[in-house]
Amino acid sequence: MSRGYFDFVSQHQAYKELEKTWHVELATTTFFWFDLIVTPPAGVDYQKIASDYLKALQEEVETTTDKRFVYFLASRTRVRFSTARQPHYSIFKSKLFVYVEIGRERSQRRLKIAIPRGTAPRVPPWTSDDGRFLLFQSGKNSKPEGISIHDFLMANGFDLGIDTEIQYVGSTDDPAARPLKRKHRGYGDVAYSVPSDNNDLFVFYNLFKVISISTAKNSPIRFVVGNSIIDEVKKREEGMIIEHRLVHYFGVKAQELDKKREYTKLKNGLTGLWKKCKISKINFTIEVDQKVDFFRFFSRNVTASDQHSFSCSVENGEVVIGEPIDVASFFKD
């Protein structure tokens, strides 16, 4: 179903006259590790791999909901496979032990993976010289294959207690180029301010679902409809509205210079939503089903959490970040 397929709803008088709340949920997120983009292993063009994936994703999105991507530049404490202590199997080969080093102090953790009996390769995996990859060889003459440290942690659901710090929030219609190709002030500012000897830098590409909910309990008609379906607020404006609210919520240092301008955009955007669409408040929920620390976001202003829920509105001429709204309450008699 393409964007605006039911655009007649937004023009219907019964819908236009009702006061509404936007409920914004994180629908999907995809992240890439900049270290593999900037310094890929020999013979592998990770930037092209990531760009091709994002181009395919963008084409898929454009044929359906056609949303703008909202991205986070984020940092996490540096993690590498230990090169001093190589992986090994237990004596009965039912478990694989892998060692990782965390931070500039290189504090060591042992990770355990269950291996079904009789399936362990004769040769255990080993780590690359730089500690970024775990290498496997299926046969004596086969070429080794590798998995990066962060893909390994994600694939096996390891939670090291390392939260992800949001360093910059932006939006784009061309995710294959911005900020992946790094021709971007935000990337430069973040890369300069985040020490590489203690941190890894990532970009998270996010797509948000925006639902318009009528809030008048005394009305015989209730609406719960996706903005992309009725296209009441156009794609670019929708994406910019989400971006400006998240910039304000996370309050990151890299965007401090633009704080006044971003605040003005935020207030004007919220005011415009009310004047044009009678949307009085925006309710946010940022949460990923997979509960691992990669998606436990925080910033200098916001405590780390698996779920960030809050509301945003203009009250007495000022932007207010408030408690989340219980959306279900709109439908209780």
Domain that holds residue 105: 80-155
Instruction: Quote the tokens at residue 142.
Output: 């086969």
Task: Give a yes or no: residue 93 inside a domain.
Answer: yes
The per-residue pLDDT for 331 is 58
What is the separation, in whole angstroms, between the first and last Cα of the chain?
A: 32
Q: Is 89 found in the same domain as 63?
A: no
Which pLDDT belongs to residue 332? 61
Question: Is the same domain home to 136 and 178?
Answer: no
Last residue of a domain, one of 89, 121, 155: 155
Q: Round to whole Å and give the CA distance between 141 and 202.
A: 35
Strand partners, 203: 32, 73
**Bridge partners of residue 109, in order along the sequence:** 100
pLDDT at 83: 96
> Which pLDDT belongs to residue 305?
97
> Would you give the DSSP letter of residue 124?
P
**Is 194 in the same domain as 96?**
no
* Domain co-membership, 184 together with 317: yes
- Residue 197 maps to a domain: yes
In this structure, are residues 150 and 33 in contact, taking their beta carbons and an 8 Å threshold? yes
What is residue 1's predicted lDDT score, i.e. its pLDDT? 65
Residue 295, number of CB atoms within 10 A of its CB: 20
At 255 the pLDDT is 86
Which among 171, 167, 148 has a CA at the least distance from the CA of 46?
148
Give the H or E element holding residue 236: helix 235-250
Q: Determine, yes or no, domain membership for 167.
A: no
166 in a structural domain: no
Q: In b/e form, how buried is each residue of 90-125, taking b as 16+ CB within 10 angstroms? A: eeebeebebbbbbeeeeeeeebeeebeeeebeeebb
Is there a single domain that holds both residue 119 and residue 240?
A: no
d(CA 171, CA 202): 15
Q: Minimal CA–CA distance to 267: which of 318, 216, 304? A: 318
- How much is the pLDDT for 143? 82
Task: Please indicate, yes or no, whether residues 14 and 151 belong to a single structural domain of this protein.
Answer: no
Predicted pLDDT of residue 120: 64
Structural domain contains residue 160: no
Same domain, 122 and 269: no
Residue after which a domain boundary falls, among 102, 128, 155? 155
User: Residue 325: its pLDDT value, please?
Assistant: 84
pLDDT value for 289: 93
- Cα angle 117, 122, 123 (rounded to 5 degrees) comes to 125
Per-residue pLDDT of the chain (333 residues; tens, 9 = 90+): 678 788 898 888 888 888 999 999 999 999 999 999 999 988 899 999 999 999 999 999 999 889 999 999 999 999 999 999 999 988 777 889 999 999 999 999 999 998 877 666 677 899 999 999 999 887 677 788 899 999 999 999 999 999 999 999 999 999 999 888 887 778 888 888 899 999 999 999 999 999 999 877 677 778 899 999 999 999 999 999 999 999 999 999 888 878 888 889 889 999 999 999 999 999 999 999 998 999 999 999 999 999 999 999 999 989 999 999 887 666 565
Left (φ > 0), alpha (ψ -120 to 50) or beta: where does 254 sit?
alpha
Inter-helix orientation angle 259-277/235-250, to 10°: 130
110 and 240 assigned to the same domain: no
- Claim to verify: residue 277 and residue 179 sit in the same structural domain: yes
Domain boundary among 127, 155, 183: 155
- Would you state the pLDDT for residue 191? 85
The verdict on residue 161 lying in a domain is no
Specify the number of domains making up the chain.
2
Strands (E), 78-198: 79-81, 88-89, 95-102, 107-114, 126-127, 133-136, 145-148, 164-172
Question: Do 220 and 285 fall within a single domain?
Answer: yes
Q: d(Cα 91, Cα 96) in Å, to the nearest integer?
A: 10
- Residue 163 falls inside a structural domain: no
Q: Is 189 domain-assigned?
A: yes
Note whether 224 and 263 are same-domain residues. Answer: yes
Q: Are residues 244 and 114 both part of a single domain?
A: no
CA distance linking residue 224 with residue 259, whole number of Å: 33
